Amino acid sequence: MSKALGNNPGRDWEIFYKENELNWENKEYYTEKYMHSFLKSEWMHSLIAHLKPGQKVLEAGCGTGLFSIALAYAGYEVTAIDYNEAAIELSQNNLDLFNSQSEKKLKIDFSQGDLLNLEFQNNTFNMVFNQAVLEYFTDDDNFDKAISEMHRVTVAGGTVVAIVQNTRNPIRPLWNLMGLQFYINQPNVRLIHRQVLQKYFSRYFKIVSIDGLLPWKAVFMAPKKFHKVTYYLNRFFEKFVPQPKVLRSKIGIQLVVVGLKG
């Protein structure tokens, strides 16, 4: 079950930062070798595809700072906020770690901030994005407010990109049967699927695009002892058997929604 049951995701996540329960964090990520690989991932492609060289980016909920560091490494001007001071400290430490072992020294403006009340002027950034943030706004009004604030600080012609858990993935019961429990040790999430994202983003953006990330990985999910086999199956099918967008957005592990500001 979820560990924190409130309607304020920032405060809920504070529990996990205090208890050091970020089980996805890995210091090996903060090397140039890993950044080269990460920049080729579906996550990063879903962001960089909508940017021009050197543009201004805001990560509105940066967590460990990995995405911001990758974008800064790719040459973008990055600002990043998080509700939790512990997250900002962790992100800065990870940036310092990267800079300590890289010839390319990066600069990112990390600061504490609230997604529901962004302290930036209107029309400031070419892109505003976050990953695994919006789904924790279980209150409808706050969910809408978060999208509204991201829209407000984005320039006309710019984009807002949100990568969220596909909490309605139809394959999840199969994962549970195999003993694979995902999204358990975390705050509450709302039900997220294509129609929900379309409904809320269409209120603010003239064009809304929704896709799924890692759909073949969702299909080939398996216990750890089979990871080597499933890794190669996933890579093969991603390259040679691409899925149509409508199917990707149903079974992808995560969903990515892109809003173009008019």
Residue 225 backbone dihedrals phi, psi, to 5 degrees: -65, -15
CB-facing half-sphere around the CA of 153: CA atoms within 13 A = 23
Q: In whole angstroms, give the CA distance from residue 137 to residue 142.
A: 6
Q: In whole angstroms, give the CA distance from residue 65 to residue 147.
A: 21
Q: In whole angstroms, give the CA distance from residue 232 to residue 144.
A: 39
Residue indicated by tokens 């990560």: 59
Q: Domain for residue 26, yes or no?
A: yes
The domain in which residue 85 lies consists of 9-168+184-214+245-260
Per-residue pLDDT of the chain (262 residues; tens, 9 = 90+): 344 455 678 888 888 787 766 767 889 999 999 999 999 999 999 999 999 999 999 999 999 999 999 999 999 999 999 999 999 999 999 999 999 999 999 999 999 999 999 999 999 999 999 999 999 999 999 999 999 999 999 999 999 999 999 988 898 888 878 877 666 667 888 988 999 999 999 999 999 999 999 999 889 888 878 888 888 898 899 889 999 988 999 999 999 999 999 9
Number of structural domains, the chain? 1
Q: Domain for residue 22, yes or no?
A: yes
Q: Domain for residue 175, yes or no?
A: no
* Amino acid letter for position 41: S
Q: Domain for residue 94, yes or no?
A: yes
Q: Domain for residue 233, yes or no?
A: no
Q: In this structure, what CATH number is given to the domain that contains residue 110?
A: 3.40.50.150
- The residues, ordered by sequence, that sit 6+ positions from 243 with a Cβ below 8 Å of its Cβ are 215, 216, 251
